[in-house]
Amino acid sequence: MNIDPSHPRAISLKIRDQLVWGKKQGLTSTAGLIAHGRGEAFDYLLGEKTQKFAQEAIRAAAAYLLLAKQPILSSNGNSSVLTAKEFIKLCHLLNCKIEVNLFHFTKKRAELIEDYFDKLSPGCVLLSRRNIPVVISNIASCRKVVLREGIGSADVVLVPLEDGDRCQALSRLGKRVITIDLNPISRTAKKAAVTIVDNIVRAMPLLIQEIEDLKRSPKSQLIKITQTYNNKKILSSALQFINNRLVILAKRQI
């Protein structure tokens, strides 16, 4: 679709177009388009900008990822289509791997996404056909099958646009879960150690920047950032922000 950059909703239209492209390529699931719609609704409420509570969460996420012994970046059909380049940049910065893990699993789509990453940057993604699968208990979906070398042995997992079950199961296994989710009341948002309530397309470049800024910081400073971070407080701030914004909009009669 040819999107006129002067259209007031050009950015939003471009993101939709990318996902539609992803669907045609077999990368994004049909349900992924619906999930994006839910995200868009929350983004409206957040003013379509990265707010202070998201910046604070991004800083904590950067600290956790830099402190991790074995971080892993988990990608799905939406996140790979919207932010593949950022995933790859992060994987180089942190010297870690990307693992494709799908909710609406088909072997064909998982391999297509893996090949998509592998073509963009060979070696950055763990290929399921060459790695050993392991099963995580207490997950009802196909997301329970992870790779031993990846999520299976990682201590910190970045899982944007996650579903609640796996987030909870990974946390129970002692892994630190960092998510990006526009919905501050999703189960994932509530169960993760760090929830970045922001659009993935804005949050990923900021996360890269924050990691670059913090990567030479002493370990003690990174530890302090993680210890003083409070995810419940961040989610409350996000809800408070939405509430205040709606009150202001209502008073102004939009």
C-alpha–C-alpha distance, residues 29 and 6, integer Å: 30
Work out whether 208 is an interface residue with ligand PTJ (CB under 6 A).
Answer: no
Q: Which of 90, 130, 122 is nearest to 215 (CA)?
A: 90
Site for ligand PTJ in 223-252 (CB under 6 A): none
CB of 168 to ligand PTJ, least distance (A): 13
Size of the site for ligand PTJ (CB under 6 A): 23
Q: Which stretch binds ligand PTJ (CB under 6 A): 26-34, 49-57, 128-136, 168-176?
A: 26-34
Work out whether 128 is an interface residue with ligand PTJ (CB under 6 A).
Answer: no
Among 163, 165, 167, 235, binds ligand PTJ (CB under 6 A): 163
Contact 177, 170 (CB under 8 A): yes
Which residues have CB under 8 Å from 174's CB, separation 6+?
155
Work out whether 195 is an interface residue with ligand PTJ (CB under 6 A).
Answer: no
Work out whether 182 is an interface residue with ligand PTJ (CB under 6 A).
Answer: yes
b/e per residue 64-77 (b: at least 16 CB within 10 A): bbbbbeebbbbbbb
Among 56, 99, 165, 181, binds ligand PTJ (CB under 6 A): 181
* Bridge pairing between strands 145-147 and 133-135: antiparallel
Contact 173, 27 (CB under 8 A): no
Contact 58, 82 (CB under 8 A): no
Work out whether 210 is an interface residue with ligand PTJ (CB under 6 A).
Answer: no
C-alpha–C-alpha distance, residues 146 and 149, integer Å: 9
Among 50, 128, 168, 199, binds ligand PTJ (CB under 6 A): 199
Among 50, 74, 78, 168, binds ligand PTJ (CB under 6 A): 78
DSSP 113: H
Give residue number: closest CB to ligand PTJ: 39
**Can you tell me which residue has the tokens 């913090």?**
214
Work out whether 75 is an interface residue with ligand PTJ (CB under 6 A).
Answer: no
Work out whether 22 is an interface residue with ligand PTJ (CB under 6 A).
Answer: no
> What are the residues binding ligand PTJ (CB under 6 A)?
29, 31-32, 35-36, 38-39, 42, 76-78, 102-104, 161, 163, 180-183, 186, 199-200
